[in-house]
C-alpha cells in the first residue's frame, strides 16, 4: 500500500500533503494535551509495532504481496490522534531510510494509513464496544474496525492510483505516472485487502491488543500504570521473526520500479512502456534501499533494518518525553 515515488503527479502529492497538514496539526495538539510525559514513550512502542507489522509481507496468488499496518491497534491502545502521529513516524522512517514509500507521496501514504485507517478503525471499534456490555465486544470491535480500516485505506490508495492516467497523460494518451485506471486499480488493490491482507490486519490487531490487555495494561491510554516489559519482549519477538517477511516473493501491486513496470502483465498483456514521469521524476537515494545493506546477506540486512526502525521509533519518542515538562496538578 506504500505509494512509491513518481506514481502520483506532483500536483496530486501537493493536494494530499495539504490535506494532511491540518490532520497532523490536530493530532499533535491532542497528543500534547492527552499524553503525559510518562506515557509519551509508548507512542514509540506503537510506531515500532506499525513499522514491524509492515515488514511481514504476505503473498497472494498472482505474485502480489501485502502486509498489516497496525494503525487501528495503536488507536485502541493510545487513541486515534496518537496513532496518527505514530504511524506517520513509522512511514517517515521507512521512506527516508529504506525507500519504502515515496518522499513526494509521503502525504498521500499518511492520508491513507495514518489518517483514514486509524480514525475509521477506532470509530468502528468504539461504536461496537459502546453498544454491548459483553467482554467480547471490544475484541469484536477491534477485529471489524481493523479490517474495515485497512480496506478503506487501500481503497483510497486505489483511487489515487486510478485517477492518474485520467488526469495526467501525454498527447499520445500514454500515462505520465501510474498507468492503470480505476477499472484496474480498484479491483487489483481490493481483492488482496478484502481477503488475505485484511485478515492479516485483523489478526495482528486483535492478537496484540489481547496480549497487551492481559500482560501490560499499563500501555492503555486510560491506565495509570506504565509497566510495559512484556511489550518490549513482544517487540523483540517480532524483530526476531521479521525475516519471515522475505519468504513472500513478488512485489506489492502498484510498487514496481521504473525499470520493471513496462514488463508488468495485466489482463494478459504487458504495459509496454515506462511512464515519462517515472523516468524523469524525483528520486531519493536512501541509506538502506529496500531494506538491503551492501555486503550483508538479505536475511541479516532485513533483521538489522527491523532493529534500526524499531529502535529509532522508541528512542525518538523517549527524547520527546525527556523534553516535556511534567504537568503539575493543583
CATH number of the domain encompassing residue 284: 1.10.1760.20
Residue 226, pLDDT above cutoff 60: no
Q: Is there a domain that residue 189 lies in?
A: yes
Q: What is the DSSP string of 268-285?
A: TEE--S--HHHHHS----
Domain of 243 in residue numbering reads as 10-323
Q: What is the DSSP string of 19-38?
A: HHHHHHHHHHHHHHHHS-TT
What is the domain count for the chain? 1
Cβ atoms of 77 and 209 within 8 Å: the answer is yes
Residue 158, pLDDT above cutoff 90: yes
Mean pLDDT across the stretch 138-159? 98
Mean pLDDT across the stretch 141-162? 98
pLDDT value at residue 141 = 97
Q: Is there a domain that residue 224 lies in?
A: yes
Q: Which three cell numbers stand for residue 39?
A: 506515557
Q: Is there a domain that residue 16 lies in?
A: yes
Q: Is there a domain that residue 208 lies in?
A: yes
pTM, entire model: 0.95
pLDDT value at residue 60 = 87
Mean pLDDT across the stretch 107-132? 97
Q: Is there a domain that residue 126 lies in?
A: yes
Q: What is the pLDDT of residues 23-48, one digit of tens each?
A: 999 999 999 999 989 889 999 999 99
Q: Which three cell numbers stand for residue 258?
A: 521504473
Q: How far is CA 314 from CA 49, 75, 166, 296, 320, in A?
A: 10, 17, 42, 25, 10
Mean pLDDT across the stretch 168-186? 96
Q: What is the pLDDT of residues 100-109, one digit of tens each?
A: 999 999 999 9
Q: Is there a domain that residue 151 lies in?
A: yes
17 conformational bin, left if phi > 0, alpha if psi -120 to 50, beta if neither? alpha
Q: How far is CA 109 from CA 23, 89, 128, 312, in A?
A: 13, 12, 27, 20
Q: Is there a domain that residue 330 lies in?
A: no
Residue 327, pLDDT above cutoff 60: no
* CA-closest candidate to residue 208, choices 31, 304, 68, 326: 68
Q: What is the pLDDT of residues 279-305, one digit of tens each?
A: 988 988 999 999 999 999 999 999 999
pLDDT value at residue 329 = 37
Secondary structure class of 169 (helix, strand, coil): strand
Which residues are registered as beta bridge partners of 59? 65
Cβ atoms of 252 and 66 within 8 Å: the answer is yes
pLDDT value at residue 63 = 75
Q: Is there a domain that residue 72 lies in?
A: yes
Of 68-77, 131-140, 200-209, 233-242, the least confident: 131-140
What CA–CA distance (Å, rounded) separates 72 from 75?
5
pLDDT value at residue 296 = 97
Secondary structure class of 137 (helix, strand, coil): helix
Burial class of residue 72 in the structure, from the number of CB atoms within 10 Å of its CB (0-12 exposed, 13-18 middle, 19+ buried): buried
**What is the band of 220 on the pLDDT scale with cuts at 50, 70, 90?**
confident
Amino acid at each position: 500500500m506504500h505509494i512509491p515515488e513518481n506514481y502520483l503527479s506532483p500536483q496530486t502529492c501537493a493536494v494530499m500533503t495539504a490535506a494532511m497538514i491540518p490532520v497532523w496539526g490536530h493530532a499533535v495538539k491532542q497528543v500534547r494535551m492527552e499524553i503525559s510525559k510518562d506515557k509519551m514513550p509508548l507512542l514509540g512502542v506503537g510506531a515500532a509495532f506499525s513499522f514491524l507489522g509492515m515488514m511481514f509481507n504476505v503473498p497472494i496468488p498472482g505474485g502480489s504481496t501485502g502486509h498489516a499496518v497496525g494503525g487501528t491497534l495503536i488507536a485502541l491502545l493510545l487513541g486515534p490522534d496518537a496513532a496518527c502521529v505514530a504511524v506517520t513516524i513509522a512511514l517517515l522512517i521507512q521512506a527516508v531510510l529504506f525507500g519504502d514509500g515515496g518522499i513526494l507521496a509521503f502525504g498521500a501514504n499518511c492520508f491513507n494509513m495514518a489518517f483514514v485507517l486509524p480514525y475509521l478503525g477506532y470509530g468502528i471499534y468504539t461504536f461496537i464496544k459502546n453498544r454491548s456490555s459483553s467482554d467480547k465486544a471490544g475484541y469484536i470491535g477491534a477485529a471489524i474496525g481493523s479490517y474495515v480500516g485497512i480496506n478503506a485505506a487501500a481503497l483510497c490508495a486505489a483511487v489515487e492510483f486510478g485517477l492518474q492516467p485520467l488526469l495526467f497523460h501525454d498527447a499520445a494518451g500514454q500515462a505520465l505516472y501510474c498507468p492503470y485506471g480505476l477499472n484496474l486499480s480498484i479491483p487489483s488493490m481490493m481483492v488482496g485487502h478484502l481477503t488475505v491482507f485484511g485478515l492479516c490486519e485483523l489478526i495482528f490487531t486483535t492478537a496484540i491488543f489481547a496480549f497487551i490487555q492481559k500482560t501490560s495494561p499499563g500501555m492503555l491510554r486510560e491506565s495509570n500504570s506504565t509497566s510495559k516489559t512484556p511489550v518490549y519482549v513482544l517487540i523483540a519477538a517480532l524483530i526476531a521473526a521479521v525475516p519471515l517477511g522475505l519468504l513472500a516473493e513478488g512485489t506489492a501491486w502498484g510498487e514496481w520500479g521504473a525499470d520493471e513496470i513496462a514488463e508488468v502483465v495485466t489482463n494478459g498483456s504487458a504495459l509496454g512502456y515506462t511512464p515519462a514521469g517515472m523516468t524523469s521524476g524525483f528520486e531519493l537515494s536512501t541509506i538502506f534501499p529496500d531494506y538491503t545493506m551492501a555486503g550483508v546477506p538479505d536475511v541479516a540486512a532485513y533483521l538489522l533494518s527491523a532493529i534500526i526502525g524499531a529502535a529509532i521509533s522508541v528512542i525518538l519518542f523517549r527524547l520527546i518525553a525527556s523534553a516535556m515538562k511534567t504537568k503539575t496538578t493543583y
